[in-house]
Structure 1
Amino acid sequence: MKQVLIAAALAVVAVAATVAPASATPRGCLDPAVPLPVEENRLGATLPDEADPGRAQAEPLSERMIGGAGFGAFTPDLVARLCRTSGPAAARAVVVDAGERLWRAAVDRAQRRVVRGALPSSDDRPLYWTRLRARAALRQWVPGFRVSRERLVTAFDRASRGVRDVDFPPGVRRVLVSGFDPYTLDGGQRGPAPGTVGNNLRHGNPSGAAALALDGTTVRTPDGGLARIEAYTLPVNYPEFARGYLEDTVGPAMRRGLDASVTISQAGGAAFDLEQWNGRYHGVSPGNDGVRPCPPVHGAPRLAVDDPRCDTAVVPRWGGPADFDLHNPPQWTSTTLPVDRMIAARTGAGVPRPPGDTWPDQSEAFGVVWHTNYTEFPDCRSTERVTRNSPVPPEHPPAAPPVPPDPGSCSYSGGGGNYLSNESGYRNALLRDRMGLDIPAGHVHTPDMQHFETRFGDSDATFDAWRRAIVHQTRELIRVVADG
């Protein structure tokens, strides 16, 4: 998810008032006239037909993803339950239960306990599109009582990401892992069919697939003990991060004695990048919701001293501060992952190479690289930028140690850019530091999964092979972290 560049931020459609009026309930208790925001508006997007790009596919991609996993009954069941609710407390209980059930269904499918539908069990996309379909229904629900629909959407969204599912039994080493939703869903190749969209809409995210595959699993450590891996997924949106999505999940686990916390996202190429430095600067590229906190002006970056929205802010309940401070939280955080062991383990040696893999060592699927580069503003009041440790040395350990960020500098991008992947790594390491913990915590970027044989097909053997290979090697890398 490094430095994602999207041509222009999408216009965010205004969401209906957060407090629903106590008015007559339309048939089925939904009002389709209620406008939807950017993410949910993609539910109706359709790709061209693969065999005849002059025609649209028979149904939107979202329906193909939802039905392809056997999740078609989920939102109708949620709506039926909502229509029978009698008050705000009951409505919240319904949406939280639904979110938890959706997460468990996605995990069960990824781990091949219950697999329905024609899509591969490893596919992460049905969870995303089913969540959006349910969120759209919540926004268009017209209850017979006063209730904040936005709060219900948030409660459902959080529950459907596995954040309420984090549970470590006693006597195990506790490892927490995050993944991300699909992203860069706009653009890509287009066909001539009227009303269709570019094929980026079919993107998935291997970090999300890895989270589903890893959640609730255990591995044996070298000393004969057990390590439990719990996982959750994060949205590719800035507002949810600003509301504390990550801290509210990782913070309580750290307080209860977490042994390792790893954030994971997708980058490019054919290597896993272990990011050394994470930067506080963010918001150059829009999220899935079209929100972009810090767009450049006439091609020049904004500065956080002029616009505090350009720097990550932490909610007061996780240390704040409430008022902007350029150096609190700090401009940089760094990894404490066992980089040497993660590289030496040659985790790609037992992973089948997917078609078109470009990693030069044919004996393994993907390489693992200590990614030490970053870009800083040496003077926080000047737009002049300097990139350090680039190119990253191919050998490990490098002949010379990497140069750390200058004291007093301001970040422009960490090794993982200045998008939400970098932000997840920044917030995760910041929590570790503020709690005074000496545990492995850091960010891993996976290779790019978006390799298709077809122009507009939903899924194919090559796409699935890349996802399975990346998930397989991610599991091996997490095993190294879990070994302690």
Structure 2
Amino acid sequence: MLKLCPTLGLLTTLLLPLSVTAGVEEDRLPKAEQAMPDVISRYSAIVNDLSDKYQRQKNELKVTQMVAHEGQRLWQQAVRDVSSGHYDDRSLYWSRLQMRTLLQRQQPAFGIADWQREILTKAVEKASRGFSDINYADDAQIKILLTGFDPFFLDRHIEQSNPSGMAALALDGYRFQVNGKQVQIETVMIPVRFADFDAGIIESLLTPIYRDNRVNMVVTVSMGRNDFDIERFPGRNRSAKAPDNRNVMTGADKEHPQPPKLDGKTLNGPEFVEFSLPVAAIQTVKGQWKINDNHTVTTLQRGTFVANSLSELQNSTAVEGSGGGYLSNEISYRAILLQQQLGSRIATGHIHTPRLAGYDAQTEQQMIVQLKAMLTAAAATL
């Protein structure tokens, strides 16, 4: 059986032909193992358990449940690690890719078709991102759903961390009291992949949330600029000339912005939408970084400017929303658009954390401290 252990390392076990069956993300595993072996091997016991159980599995009906269980186990262990003071989101990302590789390369005790492998891969993806672990306690009076992102731009910095992903791990299940009410935060991790967005990953996650209306706030988080930015006017279109984690480029740029897709069709909606987070309360928080209510947008007609109102942006073509022209802007746009389409009253918006090159546990921990205070201030308004 294939073993992923610190002693042998991934170079021993994964330098088999990867490109035939795996994607660009998986192909980075050997380089990542060389650069940060301790990060890559941190959850090797969980990955090995998946390998053993998968190859021994004889029940075709139970294999998907088993794979999902191991994916959820990976997510929960990463959450426990960060909660106990090990501030590192990267092991979760790379261990998930190890699991994907195993499912593509290995064979259970029964024969398996390609379409079945795809189902298993999706099961481990969903479970290891916290999608199957959104559970609010019965006594939670204020409920917040927060999303973070995987590390990205890994061909620039293979050791890159993502403070928003760190936030998702640090805040999953986080409970506190404000104004005598019990608050609980649940979180999920979002992939940095255009295809997942086009396939409706955000709509699939949030549709039941907005229909149910029992959650009080949806906060999408990503890594951004120099300070904390709360993005007031997300734009509809993609315009960033930047690859996703599979090195996919959309072909869009600032002269030729492109709308995203949803289930094969163009995502229909206004060029700009507006957040509904309690920004004034959030900005009362004092911390290491400034907290900006960012009104800056870019349109084809006027270029880059500070918009004072949503009405000012009517009859404009979005190039960049306040959150930019990449997936961080898009997740906010999709969330707010869906909230409006479903007539939900849930406060929704996006927070950009300060930018971080590579990995710095102390700085990221300080970001989480300030973000917790910001969310506490927001919860106090509910």
- With normalisation by structure 2, the TM-score equals 0.89
Q: Does 1:261 align with 2:261?
A: no
Residues 12-43 of structure 1, C-alpha deviations (whole Å, 9 max, x = no match): xxxxxxxxxxxxxxx65999435221101110
Letter in 2 for 1:66: I
1:91 is displaced (CA, Å) by 2.0
SS in 1 for 2:87: coil
Q: Does 1:373 align with 2:296?
A: yes
1:366 is displaced (CA, Å) by 0.7
Correspondence for 1:140: 105
Letter in 1 for 2:151: P
1:62 is displaced (CA, Å) by 5.4
Separation of aligned partners in 2, 1:292 and 1:208: 23
Separation of aligned partners in 1, 2:190 and 2:220: 10
Number of aligned positions between the proteins: 363
Letter in 1 for 2:195: P
Q: Is the 8 A contact 1:264 1:445 kept in 2?
A: yes
Q: 1:273 to 1:89 in 2, by over 3 A?
A: same
Determine which of 67, 86, 92 is the counterpart of 1:127.
Answer: 92
1:478 is displaced (CA, Å) by 1.3
Correspondence for 1:241: 197
Q: Does 1:337 align with 2:277?
A: yes
SS in 2 for 1:278: coil
SS in 2 for 1:226: strand
Residues 84-139 of structure 1, C-alpha deviations (whole Å, 9 max, x = no match): 12254322112111111011001111111xxxxxxx60111111111111111112
Separation of aligned partners in 2, 1:89 and 1:240: 26
Determine which of 96, 103, 108 is the counterpart of 2:80.
Answer: 108
Compute the RMSD of aligned alpha carbons.
Answer: 2.2
Determine which of 235, 238, 242 is the counterpart of 1:279.
Answer: 235
Structure number, greater radius of gyration: 1
Separation of aligned partners in 2, 1:403 and 1:295: 24
Q: Does 1:450 align with 2:357?
A: yes
1:63 is displaced (CA, Å) by 3.1
Residues 358-385 of structure 1, C-alpha deviations (whole Å, 9 max, x = no match): xxxxxxx11101100011123xxxxxx6
Q: Does 1:216 align with 2:173?
A: yes
Correspondence for 2:125: 157
Q: 1:129 to 1:86 in 2, by over 3 A?
A: same
- With normalisation by structure 1, the TM-score equals 0.71
Separation of aligned partners in 1, 2:347 and 2:310: 21
1:226 is displaced (CA, Å) by 0.8
Letter in 2 for 1:422: N
Correspondence for 2:142: 173
What fraction of aligned residue pairs are identical, expressed as a percent? 30
SS in 2 for 1:333: coil
Correspondence for 1:312: 260
Separation of aligned partners in 2, 1:403 and 1:443: 16
Q: Is the 8 A contact 1:343 1:369 kept in 2?
A: yes
Q: Which has the higher helix share?
A: 2
Q: 1:88 to 1:423 in 2, by over 3 A?
A: farther
- Structure 2: where are the runs of 5+ without partners? 4-12
Residues 239-258 of structure 1, C-alpha deviations (whole Å, 9 max, x = no match): 11122222222222222222
Q: Does 1:44 align with 2:30?
A: yes
1:301 is displaced (CA, Å) by 3.0
Letter in 2 for 1:207: S
Separation of aligned partners in 1, 2:315 and 2:99: 46
Q: 1:437 to 1:324 in 2, by over 3 A?
A: same
SS in 2 for 1:60: helix
1:404 is displaced (CA, Å) by 5.1
Q: Is the 8 A contact 1:44 1:62 kept in 2?
A: no
SS in 1 for 2:273: strand
Q: Is the 8 A contact 1:389 1:402 kept in 2?
A: no
1:64 is displaced (CA, Å) by 2.5
1:450 is displaced (CA, Å) by 2.3
Q: 1:283 to 1:92 in 2, by over 3 A?
A: farther
Correspondence for 1:76: 48
Q: Does 1:419 align with 2:326?
A: yes
Correspondence for 1:252: 208
Q: Is the 8 A contact 2:233 2:310 kept in 1?
A: no
Correspondence for 2:9: none
What are the equivalent positions in structure 2 for 1:8-47 lying under 5 Å apart? Answer: 28=2, 32-33=16-17, 35=20, 36-45=22-31
Q: Is the 8 A contact 1:62 1:129 kept in 2?
A: no
Correspondence for 1:397: none
SS in 1 for 2:313: coil
1:267 is displaced (CA, Å) by 0.8
1:276 is displaced (CA, Å) by 0.4
Separation of aligned partners in 2, 1:99 and 1:247: 22
Separation of aligned partners in 2, 1:97 and 1:323: 33
Residues 126-183 of structure 1, C-alpha deviations (whole Å, 9 max, x = no match): 1111111111111212343233212211111111010111112334211100111111
Greater relative contact order (Cα 8 A, min sep 6): structure 1 or 2?
1
Correspondence for 2:10: none
Q: Does 1:434 align with 2:341?
A: yes
1:81 is displaced (CA, Å) by 0.7
1:402 is displaced (CA, Å) by 5.3
What are the equivalent positions in structure 2 for 1:400-419 lying under 5 Å apart? Answer: 401=308, 405-419=312-326
Q: Does 1:66 align with 2:32?
A: no
1:323 is displaced (CA, Å) by 4.3
